[in-house]
Structure 1
Amino acid sequence: MNPYENAVKQFEEVAKRLHIEEWIINQLKKPERELAVNFPLRLDDGDMINVSGYRVQHCSALGPTKGGIRYHPNVSLDEVRALSMWMTWKCSVCDLPYGGAKGGVCINPKKLSKTEIERLTREFTGMIADFIGPEKDIPAPDVYTNAQVMDWMQDEYSKIVGKDVKAIVTGKSIANGGIAGRETATGRGGFFVLQRFLERTGTKAERVAVQGFGNAGRNMAKFLTDAGFRIVAVSDSKGGCFKAEGLNIDELIAWKMQNGSVVGFDNAEKISNAELLELDVDVLVLAALENQIRKENADKIRAKVIVELANGPITKEADGILFERGIEVLPDIIANSGGVIVSYFEWLQNLSNTKWNAEKVESELKEKITSAFDKVFDLARLNGNSLRDAAYEVAIRRVVDSLRKKFKQS
């Protein structure tokens, strides 16, 4: 099943449970607007290649659309459609005044020089400039795009419209209107969600395993360590390391920067990613790739709580098995929403021409994500559902209510 068909099926299951009208289901199954572009790109050696890209706006019922732009050779229209739909639900569950959007360029940025990536970014921005805007559709970084790419987008868009428009993208550098704490927002948000879950349930947790040691996993491991948790295992794409008495995260970060992997760290035992998933720990943080826990290994998971810091790390079949076994999953739709919440703060900062400090960003993020989690948790406990089912119900109901009010009285 391709990602778009999967996203539609996921939505239809919730819609059926909520008895949503057919016209709304049909509206939300398809994006409101799609733009496909094709343009030539000059390489440093003078050769020309042709590049395809997309920007999809799924739903603007709650406000302007919001979502990242990725540079990846496997980008497809269906992938971008699916990601835009998931962004609608993510923004909605967090009570942000946004709909979902996503963009992508089908190219391998690892084969491009920095100047070629800049030319690519400026060309793509020109192609989609009429489609985006600070109160229409606001891009952000995603796979293989970063603050530098956002700075180029912001600069090119500003040249096109003839004025400096900081709020056209989020995830910019601090010097160019970015916001303090954006780099750590996803990890910090996941930490706040876990912290709130443990408070609400009275669950005792100390031992943690973290799969994935990129930006999100690394930062969450740091926040957990600072809060007194013991990180006993960490892994990246090359393998993992285990130490029962706990890993020194600061030293591990330095080791990975020097050696390119966590493997071989500090006399720790070498383990595989598969072995890390099955460790006897209190909390398992999934911060790597999708489909890591499947029906084949779901019955071997021993963690009490799983935090989905990555997108879609648990398959639908595995989700049902974990729920039946009483293992709590803090779903990606809310657990990794720290990034888009802090992007919202950056957008507000730009629109009001003010500057937020790191303390304000952290306190506002904690309040926003904790409030969103409480609504999801209360509904899950009321209905006896999983936190994922409750999160999708909260998100979809909010969008549906808005559509009803706009187009037909409920």
Structure 2
Amino acid sequence: MDEGHTGVYEDALCRVREIGESAGIEAEVIESLLRPRQVLTCSLPVRMDDGSVNYFTGYRCQYNDVLGPTKGGIRFHPDVTDEEVKALALWMTLKCALVGLPFGGAKGGVVVQPKALSPMELERLSRAYVRAMADFIGPQVDIPAPDVYTNARIMGWMMDEYEAIRRVRSPGVITGKPVRLGGSLGREEATGRGAYICIRELAKRKGWQPDQIRVAVQGFGNAAYHVARLLARDGYKVVAISDSKGGIYSEQGFDIESLWQEKQKSRQVRAVYCEQSVCQLVEHKEISNEELLALDVDLLIPAALEGVIHSGNVESVRASTLVEVANGPVEAEAEHWLDEQGITVVPDVLANAGGVTVSYFEWVQNRTGYPWSLEQVRERLETQMGEAFDRVWHLSQTEARTLRGAAYSVALRRIGEAVTAHGTREYFGGQDG
């Protein structure tokens, strides 16, 4: 295969066209998803600690709101582009439709290296973003949430700034907030737990014995940690973990809690085993992220950024199953090769939908003023994700589709029902009685 990447947004549109047409989705529905509803680009002036002013570019895309107010995270990353934000917002549109949430899709981002900012500079940037977006977002219009390099504290700052501008208490404007500011219990673990539920459901259908399954996880952020932790708890052998700097491998597997503890302390992925506060190095091999993707494992979990598996490296993938915890980690052209090899791919619009699902739960709690217990959140996430996986699996079996094809078909049909309810060419042309 030729090396190279397609544009991430064009790649996303390609899949919508291809899967929509093969599933018999009405052309008007597909057409409605080939362009965003609106995109706002802004320049954010931030006073730095040395007294100077730096300008950062911010984006917010509201892609499609036919099912409800738009919903999607905000990422702080040096590689954010308008094309990436539109692709992420499109995927969020499909994700919300797939799991049955009354939301459309959105996404936001700021072009910044957040690790280079002081805590006070980060707060000023977060508040500047909301000032620029204050007329664009709202609890019944567009509800942001955390994403790459943003977190609960940043969401708290953003909510506070929005409330100061509007002069009204409005906890539902942002999800993923600190619990004491109206956040939901279980939100921090939600994306990883949702992926874990999908893997557990897949294991039932494939007849897996957890202690026989070797797992490699690319990425070690919040979502990756929680899915790895839950899998290890069930007996899966997590043999490789990586972050942006590289990874580690051990055939014996790792103690995930110890790795996470060391990551929080040293900001490095290091192979250690910790007994309370005492940690010791364990035997391991250092590997690159590319080497991790090519490991001979049963389950590969790309949980970093989009486009990491592409036409230039897909033929090195040896895992029999991929679960996309990151958004768009497998490019469309690369997935054709995976399908030909019989490699199962659980798509991002299903596998990482736990985060937006619990964000929806948080939004509901904010609107009713009635907080849920952690047990309630987990039970409802189990139900929502389990039903979504079952629906996708059933369709993949009855219509001989890949799991992505089935997931997109479910989402597109739901969006299609909403579009049809407003009237399509058949109705207005007099062909629909």
**TM-score calculated relative to the size of structure 2:** 0.89
Q: Does 1:107 align with 2:148?
A: no
Name which of 139, 144, 150 aligns with 2:144.
139
Aligned-pair CA distance for 1:22 = 4.0
Report what 2:419 is aligned to: 403
Report what 1:218 is aligned to: 225
Report what 1:116 is aligned to: 121
Which amino acid counterpart does residue 346 of structure 1 have in structure 2?
A: E
Report what 2:301 is aligned to: 285
Q: Does 1:42 align with 2:43?
A: no
Alignment of 1:8-407 (within 5 A): 8-205=13-210, 206-263=213-270, 265=272, 266-407=282-423
Report the secondary structure of 1:279's partner residue.
coil
Cα distance in 2 for partners of 1:12, 1:214 equals 32
Cα distance in 2 for partners of 1:26, 1:280 equals 41
Aligned-pair CA distance for 1:136 = 1.1
Aligned-pair CA distance for 1:154 = 0.9
User: Does the aligned pair in 1 maintain the 2:294–2:316 contact within 8 Å?
Assistant: yes
Cα distance in 1 for partners of 2:157, 2:417 equals 38
User: Does the aligned pair in 2 maintain the 1:264–1:270 contact within 8 Å?
Assistant: no
Deviations 1:85-130 (A, max 9, x none): 1110111111111000111223333333222222222222122212
CA RMSD of aligned residues (A): 2.0
Structure with bigger RCO (C-alpha 8 Å, 6+ apart): 2
Cα distance in 2 for partners of 1:347, 1:270 equals 42
Which amino acid counterpart does residue 87 of structure 2 have in structure 1?
A: A
Q: Which runs of 5+ in 2 are unaligned?
A: 1-5, 273-281
Cα distance in 2 for partners of 1:151, 1:136 equals 19
Report the secondary structure of 2:56's partner residue.
strand
Aligned-pair CA distance for 1:143 = 2.0
Given the superposition, is the C-alpha separation of residues 127 and 329 from structure 1 closer, same or farther in structure 2, using an over 3 Å criterion?
Answer: same
More deviation, 60-69/123-132? 123-132
Given the superposition, is the C-alpha separation of residues 106 and 290 from structure 1 closer, same or farther in structure 2, using an over 3 Å criterion?
Answer: closer
Report the secondary structure of 1:58's partner residue.
strand
User: Does the aligned pair in 2 maintain the 1:238–1:263 contact within 8 Å?
Assistant: no
Report the secondary structure of 1:187's partner residue.
helix
Aligned-pair CA distance for 1:257 = 3.2
Aligned-pair CA distance for 1:359 = 1.1
Given the superposition, is the C-alpha separation of residues 77 and 390 from structure 1 closer, same or farther in structure 2, using an over 3 Å criterion?
Answer: same
Cα distance in 1 for partners of 2:393, 2:339 equals 14
Report the secondary structure of 1:275's partner residue.
helix
Deviations 1:233-291 (A, max 9, x none): 22223333333232222222233334432345411233333333333332222212333
Q: Percent identity?
A: 46
Aligned-pair CA distance for 1:144 = 2.1
Aligned-pair CA distance for 1:39 = 4.4
Given the superposition, is the C-alpha separation of residues 109 and 244 from structure 1 closer, same or farther in structure 2, using an over 3 Å criterion?
Answer: closer
Report the secondary structure of 1:156's partner residue.
helix
User: Does the aligned pair in 1 maintain the 2:58–2:111 contact within 8 Å?
Assistant: yes
Report the secondary structure of 1:288's partner residue.
coil
Which amino acid counterpart does residue 78 of structure 2 have in structure 1?
A: P
User: Does the aligned pair in 1 maintain the 2:248–2:270 contact within 8 Å?
Assistant: yes
More deviation, 177-186/291-300? 291-300
Aligned-pair CA distance for 1:376 = 0.8
User: Does the aligned pair in 1 maintain the 2:41–2:59 contact within 8 Å?
Assistant: yes
Which amino acid counterpart does residue 201 of structure 1 have in structure 2?
A: K
User: Does the aligned pair in 1 maintain the 2:139–2:174 contact within 8 Å?
Assistant: yes
